[in-house]
Amino acid sequence: MRLTVIGCAGSVPRPDSAASCYLVSAGGVELVLDLGNGALGPLAAAIDPINVSAVFITHLHPDHWADLSALCVLLRHGPVRRPPLPVYGPRGLAQRVAAANTGDPKADLSDVFTFVTLRPGAAVEVGDVRVTAAEVAHPAQAYGLRVQSGDRVLAYSGDSDECEALVALARDAHLALFEASFIDPAPQEPALPPGLHMTGTMAGRVARRAAAAALMLTHTVHWNAVSGAHDRELKAAASQFDGPISLAAPGLVVEV
Ligand SMILES: [Zn+2]
Ligand SMILES: [Zn+2]
């Protein structure tokens, strides 16, 4: 199973990265996990979007789905037709995309997309790849995704605070792709708001408790990249997790 980082910017696109988007390739199946702002362009550099097997959207914040509206235009008006693309996500996703594209949340996009509501714990099979969603700690309905091909497992946090659901989701994963949006506050600084995001320390702790083999930090935000704090986040994660730790970057390809 191969993971290609398409976009790894947290919350908003960065000058050097689209918002969240990952391509998972295994056994002829091409899965897109999230399709955030600006991701369709770099996705098209990695794969012809016509050949995507299915899209999984973790939650309804625009940095995780906004370019579904661009993909809608491409599939509807581009030169090549294909059967409707399965799009798995939280309840309400179809209405968001329809409203973004037509102004009418009830508009029919069934010529382009087949929307399927994710149900926590219920596995979705795409070819030989199995995707299981778990509700994680983030506003509204937000899911982490466990992607399994053969005996290889990728666990993607989506956006989440540290939580037990994420530990279970990532149990024995070969790669934990975890968000680390926040920087650990200094002792004199206010505590982080609960139920939103993780720091490198939290991501490392969850990866250790889940017995994951490797950790990749992602959803890193522009203002932290500018301040050079990502190095601190990697060190913070390493204070909790003994395995290999990497930082997601656009175009990065890893075998899981
Ligand atoms: Zn996000
Ligand atoms: Zn979010």
The alpha carbon of 27 and the centre of ligand 2 are apart by a number of angstroms equal to 30
Tell me the domain boundaries of the chain: 2-255
**Ligand minimally distant from the alpha carbon of residue 10:** 1
Q: pLDDT digit string (tens) for 60-118?
A: 999 999 999 999 999 999 999 999 999 999 999 999 999 999 999 999 999 999 999 99
Q: What mean pLDDT do residues 37-53 have?
A: 97
Residue 246, pLDDT above cutoff 70: yes
Contact 71/40 with Cβ under 8 angstroms? yes
Secondary structure (3-state) at 134 = strand
**Tokens at 115, concatenated:** 């929307």
pTM of the model: 0.97
Residue 222, pLDDT above cutoff 90: no
Burial pattern 61-95, b for ≥16 Cβ within 10 A else e, equals: bbbbbbbbbbbbebbeeeeeeeeebbbbbbeebbe
- Give the CA dihedral 217, 222, 228, 233, nearest 10 degrees: -30
Amino acid 162: pLDDT: 98
Contact 236/204 with Cβ under 8 angstroms? yes
**Tokens at 100, concatenated:** 């973004």
Tell me the pLDDT band of 204, cut-offs 50, 70 and 90.
Answer: very high
**Ligand minimally distant from the alpha carbon of residue 218:** 1
Amino acid 186: pLDDT: 87
Q: Helix %, strand %, coil % for the chain, to 5?
A: 25, 30, 45
What is the C-alpha to C-alpha distance for residues 65 and 88, in angstroms, rounded to an integer? 11
Residue 174, pLDDT above cutoff 70: yes
Superfamily name and number for 2-255: Ribonuclease Z/Hydroxyacylglutathione hydrolase-like (3.60.15.10)
What is the C-alpha to C-alpha distance for residues 150 and 155, in angstroms, rounded to an integer? 14
Contact 165/136 with Cβ under 8 angstroms? yes
**Ligand minimally distant from the alpha carbon of residue 12:** 1
**Ligand minimally distant from the alpha carbon of residue 141:** 2
Secondary structure (3-state) at 9 = strand
Amino acid 44: pLDDT: 97
Q: What mean pLDDT do residues 158-180 have?
A: 98
Tell me the pLDDT band of 226, cut-offs 50, 70 and 90.
Answer: low
The full DSSP string for 164-186 is HHHHHHTTT-SEEEEE--BPPPP
**Tokens at 93, concatenated:** 């996703």
What is the C-alpha to C-alpha distance for residues 18 and 5, in angstroms, rounded to an integer? 10
The alpha carbon of 79 and the centre of ligand 2 are apart by a number of angstroms equal to 33
The alpha carbon of 243 and the centre of ligand 1 are apart by a number of angstroms equal to 25
